[in-house]
Structure 1
């Protein structure tokens, strides 16, 4: 990774990860922190061989987690999701298409995180099939993206490019010692990658925002102390 001058929040996520939906308010708060870059890394939790058709077993599994997520974070799970999508035997949970859509929104307008949030709302609140190209195209239009440009970007990023992104995301997950999704880590200017214990901040959006601002302030002090590398009038000091 390139050297950074201010902290970067790396977010290893999956659009079909319930705890990532639970963490959405924290990522929304991070967006409002001036000077903080957020880089998304889609991990493909339900991609390839892990994609699943909706059935009673899947419904029971996710609902047990959803209950805990709602209690811990206050995030809503809509009736259209609970009694609609989770009973839709024709639906398939596949992380790959929504991950491609997030990459396309980022490529076109830097709106990857906004697309992730819309996909999460569409899935967990509105009960929509977010693996369907038509649903993703509608969400892109909701973001204000040109339909033709989104379709072109989506097409170019589908397949090998998305698979490579997922592989890189999993490599980062291993590098920072993450156990799954979501995983957050702050990259500092000296290259340090510091994992963030997400459980400490769930439901504490204001404290989380203050924590991130302190990280920026600390980095600014380090940058000022070191100054820029320059040669003086009498020569260079090694």
Structure 2
């Protein structure tokens, strides 16, 4: 049995889901977690944030419902509306970090979102992922080089295909898989206890 977490690093609701995800993984350390990047802002949707007039209002709602905070550096980054959120670049970085420390994929995915939403760092910059790597005790030079390699793009595109195969159309989505059985535990915002209840019904150990 394992959990599958499908998120987008540029998705505010995914950022807001981090406390719940952290709690669920702490309660169930026996469950491996597959972290998959979705492609929320790719192709024609990779445009300046001014094209998405709802972002500030959505962020306020996310903060109110989940308790996460949006940093001043992030607010400055998006203030003039010119910043482009490119989910392909973000997924490349997530894939590189995941490859560097597979067993820490969940924490690294959350670190990527913190780098953007708190620290105002672009997820299209190799230096951002090198900085995350250094803070996590990984090799920043290796991560920086891997970010620019073709394999990172291939891994990101594979993630997008995986998300589609899983039938995920909204982020974040948390699933549980046991052999051929697959069930959705949460989409968007959710609290830990209802997810835990569903996990127990699925056969996961209670808090083990």
TM band (smaller chain): 0.7 to 0.9
- Give unmatched runs, 5+ long, in structure 1: 1-6, 221-238
The answer to whether the 8 A contact 1:42-1:169 is kept is yes
TM-score by length of 2: 0.85
- 3-state SS of paired residue (2:124): coil
CA distance in 1, matches of 2:152, 2:2: 26
Distance 1:140 1:21 in 2: 19
Q: CA deviation at 1:152?
A: 4.1
1:68-124 CA deviation, whole Å, 9 max, x = no partner?
A: 111111111122222x01214552211122211211122121132222111111111
- 1:214 corresponds to 2:205: no
The runs of 5 or more residues in structure 2 that have no matched partner are: none
1:34 and 1:215, CA in 2 relative to 1: closer, same or farther beyond 3 A?
Answer: farther
Distance 1:188 1:131 in 2: 35
1:158-193 CA-partner distances (Å, limit 9, x unpaired): 233322321222221x2xxx431111211124x110
What secondary structure, in the 3-state scheme, does the structure 2 residue paired with 1:187 have?
Answer: strand
The aligned counterpart of 2:70 is: 77
CA distance in 2, matches of 1:209, 1:196: 6
Larger radius of gyration: 1
Q: Distance in 2 between matches of 1:106 and 1:63?
A: 30
Residues 1:194 and 2:183 are matched in the alignment = yes
1:140 partner SS: helix
Equivalent of 2:59 in 56, 66, 82: 66
Distance 2:141 2:91 in 1: 19
Structure 2 counterpart of 1:41: 36
Which residue, out of 170, 175, 180, partners 1:185? 175
Q: How far apart are the structure 2 equivalents of 1:149 and 1:64?
A: 38
Q: Which residue of 1 aligns with 2:163?
A: 169
Cα gap change, 1:68 to 1:26, in 2 (>3 Å): same
SS at match of 2:54: helix
Is this contact kept in 1: 2:126–2:144, CA < 8 A? no
